[in-house]
Chain A
Amino acid sequence: MTTQQAAAIQVQGLEKAYKELRVLRGVDFTVARGSIFALLGSNGAGKTTAVKILSTLLKADAGTARVNGFDVATQAADVRESISLTGQFAAVDEILSGRENLVLVARLRHLKSPGEIADGLLARFSLTDAGARKVSTYSGGMRRRLDIAMSLIGNPPVIFLDEPTTGLDPQARIEVWQAVKELADRGTTVLLTTQYLDEAEQLADRIAILHEGRIIVNGTLAELKQLLPPAKVEYVEKQPTLEDVFLTLVGTKA
């Protein structure tokens, strides 16, 4: 029971359909406090749908989900106090400056001294020089960094990152990875979705694969690697990558 209460995210039997299309068909997982949890899945697997349900933007058809101890369906306001969402596409105000975006979010979270918070985050995400510029002049990587910075305002204990590095160049990806690692070091729980297997390998404490509406595996990287039948390991000196694991699992299930 104590471990249950300690979990930052608990999902049980989650189902969601868009008309005929059954996207989630009974999803279960738990995320421990202060850990990074990666939800892997191909295009259309339902990652965004799951994140939207957890961040109170969508209602599930069945099942329960608790975030920071609050039920997403019945205690939505408490859930929103506990989370931040960085959606799949950077949700920033193009017409405002980077600093104004941060101040706006700080105000909407009803925090004191929004200006100071904004300046602190600009510095932390190397955006100080660009802070006064309109966001429409930002590069993709800068925009994503601002997007993530906006999500950190108010230090919510749980953060959702939906494909945080899709469309970024390798350098920008590494910057985002660093930001995510720092978050976890500070004790924030991070749930991220990704299609990149190396991203999950790099960042996540636990990895779950969402496939055909269910979590087909869930474990640490080491555990997932053991799922590969040893007979298939032909090159003794080469460890199987997570990609091998993924393709084998998805391939055999399909």
Chain B
Amino acid sequence: MMPKLNASNAVAALMCAALILLPVYSAATGNIFILTLFTRITIYALAAASLNLIMGYGGMMSFGHAAYLGIGGYAVGILAAEGIGSGFIQWPVALAVSALFALLIGSLSLRTRGVYFIMITLAFAQMAYYVASALSRYGGDDGLTVYKRSDFAGLINLSDRTQFYYLCLACLFGGLYLIWRIVNSRFGLVVQGVRSNEQRMQAIGFHANRYRLVCFVIAGTICGLAGALLANNTDFVSPAVMYWTRSGDLMVMVILGGMGSLFGPVVGAIVYLLLEELLSQFTEYSGLILGPVLLLIVLFARGGIMGLLGRMRRG
């Protein structure tokens, strides 16, 4: 089946092309800044996409998703600080620890629903935040500097701006592809069915929470990867990446771009971070504009940007 040609697919295709060609533009114009900015954006887009998997498709409104950014980041940072610089060790550990954390908090949190689920995921993320603050050996409150980026035995050089950008982009595309496959798979249909009507799904024989939990763990693991990338990008990791407002940022990206749309979170991340960056060039007080913009989007553009584009097609 060919993807339908409509506004949202066109935007997604254009966006992918632009992201792929960005380093060319950056090299041609000597604009390094845009490359570093978009490196950050792709990382957050990956994190937001993973949140979208549970929020948009799974109906699980987690308010603690930034915890995995920190966990993935700390896994890299701590191993680096202990002299284990190989990415082949750091990254699998980052993913594994994120998955374990997701498994733990997921199996506890999924007993609750609605607002209570929002609150309990938030509580767990806050606990992770305070645990990180207490790691005095690894910088405590002040955070931990990562002196050397993950080493992939010469396969790829993470300190090279372009290579690192493409690595991040590949992770983003890989993550999106994975999510796309999952969403359309047997498993994905069950997860979406559970979001839509849990009672019905139980009645036809699905143990709803088991599917929810697996989905929750997958999303956490993907976000842990984003965390490992982020630590390499900033050469630094601190408890602040886990604070609840960071989780809020991720939620904003997802909702802004369009929940339950594959490319929605990517659009959301680009628009949100770009807006933040652009505004900060004109004014120190970007929130004065960004805040009301968010409010207006909620008031007038339900379904996020992708939803808006979808409606445009139908006229």
Tell me whether A and B are bound partners.
no
